[in-house]
Amino acid sequence: MANPSILILAGDGIGPEVMAEVKKIIAWFGQKRAITFDVAEDLVGGCAYDKFGTPLHDDTMARAQAADCVLLGAVGGPKYDKLDFSVKPERGLLRLRKEMDLYANLRPAQCFDALADFSSLKKDVVAGLDIMIVRELTSGVYFGEPRGIFTEGNERVGINTQRYTESEIARVARSAFELARRRRNKVCSMEKANVMESGILWREVVQEVHDKEYNDVELSHMYADAGAMQLTRWPKQFDVIVTDNLFGDLLSDLAAMLTGSLGMLPSASLGAPMKNGRPKALYEPVHGSAPDIAGQGKANPIACILSFAMALRYSFDMGADATRVEQAVEKVLAQGLRTADLMGPEGGKPVSTGQMGDAIIAALDASL
């Protein structure tokens, strides 16, 4: 049987630094667990533009389609701000998502006990938080037509179109329900059915999928603005939240900050099953390229490491090993090790990017 294949696209800014720590863990699995991955590397984002004149070369796109999963670091930076919109680094990431048809974006918001004081909310509100936001990723207002800036009379008008088909809603709803069955069996669907026709359709289709296929899962509906309020009031009332592309973009960032640090959070973008039964998948940390600290050893690699843990769970059916990685991260944080973004008033032992990765490797060794 062929080894599982991973395409690494480290990207720009701190991407290569945090991905270097993931590569240590991939190597650890080969050395200590006899689990070998076939790893290839390529370029995406600004570094790809520098070499090829495009943020994602066609050959790289083909390699991504062929791999069992893609691990991505980060893209972008001020160096590329003046590029034409069509070749900005972020267009490479959007092309990956669109052409791989990665329609379900999984954004966990988990608060480690050692970091509960970092949240802007009271500790009892966020301690033990573990929710998952499933964001539809390939349709909605970011992709709908017509779109653009046009002239009407004597002024300009900007147009973006919110558009969803029944099938687009149904498939992301199924992803949420399937995920809920592996968690606490509860889904809250969020939209704006009170003012948007697309929201009415969203609510109707999610309810239909539930009633026909997943009536064992508890389903509730909530307007997205009320959902934002409830996330900051008592986030632990939720388990899985499913929502559209625009509201998912906003709500997942809000939920991310409940945990205290954007540098801690992974994500997965999943598509339809391939011939081997695994979904097409791209895993990436939620944080950006942070060009202001690139090359200084200050970046937190945990979000990228936890993204690899998500790959173990969702692409390779290695749930126990995913948990092993997550528990190693939790152990290191409990020991007080902190990268720069985690240094709060309580202090801690400051460590570099590489030292944090090495400490997680040591915790993995101890888990054997």
Q: What is the DSSP string of 266-306?
A: EEEEEEEE-TTSPEEEEEEESS---TTTTTTT----HHHHH
Q: Which residues, other chains included, contact 160 with Cβ-Cβ below 8 Å and sequence gap of 6+? A: 141, 142, 144, 147
113 is catalytic: no
Greatest alpha-carbon pair distance for the chain in Å reads: 70
Task: Tell me whether residue 114 is in a domain.
Answer: no
Provide the CATH number for the domain around residue 280.
3.40.718.10
Question: Is 214 designated active site?
Answer: no
pLDDT along the chain (368 residues), means of 10: 92 97 98 96 98 98 96 96 94 93 94 82 87 95 94 96 98 96 96 98 98 98 98 96 97 85 86 80 93 94 96 94 96 93 79 97 96
Q: DSSP states of 147-171 as a string?
A: EEEEEETTEEEEEEE----HHHHHH
Among 258, 279, 301, give the residue marking a domain's end: 258
State residue 112's pLDDT score.
85
Q: Do 235 and 296 fall into the same domain?
A: no
The verdict on residue 125 lying in a domain is: no
Phi-psi category of residue 70: left, alpha or beta, with phi > 0 → left and psi -120 to 50 → alpha: beta
Of the residues 227, 258, 289, the one at which a domain ends: 258
Same domain, 134 and 99: no
| Same domain as 141, residue 214 | yes
Q: Are residues 138 and 251 in the same domain?
A: yes
Selected catalytic residue, list 101, 117, 130, 225: 225
d(CA 264, CA 334) in angstroms, rounded, equals: 14
- Annotated catalytic residue 331: no
Task: Please give the helix or strand (H or E) that residue 110 lies within, else none.
Answer: strand 104-110
Q: Is 225 annotated in the active site?
A: yes
Q: 363 and 272, same structural domain?
A: yes
314 and 349 within one domain: yes
- Boundary of a domain, candidates 243, 258, 273: 258
Question: Which residue in 249, 280, 283, 314 is the catalytic one?
Answer: 249
Question: What is the pLDDT, as a whole number, of residue 345?
Answer: 67
Q: Is the domain of 220 the same as that of 282?
A: no
Q: Is residue 115 part of a domain?
A: no
Same domain, 165 and 51: no
Please check whether residue 272 lies inside any domain of the structure: yes
Domain that holds residue 173: 130-258
Same domain? 246 vs 281: no
- Of these residues, 12, 68, 164, 192, which one is catalytic? 192
The catalytic position among 101, 117, 253, 358 is 253
Together in a domain, 237 and 319: no
Tokens representing residue 120 in the block: 């802007």
171 and 99 in one domain?
no
The answer to whether residue 113 is domain-embedded is no
- Residue in the block written with tokens 């109707």: 204
* Active-site annotation holder among 142, 164, 214, 314: 142
Q: Looking at the 3D structure of the chain, how many domains does it have?
A: 2
3-state secondary structure of 70: strand
User: 349 an active-site residue?
Assistant: no
H or E segment at 312? helix 302-314
Half-sphere exposure of 195 (CA within 13 A, CB side): 4
Within a domain: 116: no
Q: Strand, coil or helix: what is 195? A: coil
* Domain assignment of residue 118, yes or no: no
> Is residue 239 domain-shared with residue 317, that is, in the same domain?
no
Measured CA angle at 64 (ends 274, 132), to 5 deg: 70
Q: Distances in Å between the alpha carbon of 175 and those of 23, 236, 269, 303?
A: 29, 21, 11, 22
Is 324 part of any domain? Answer: yes
Q: Are strands 349-350 and 240-243 parallel, antiparallel or unpaired?
A: unpaired
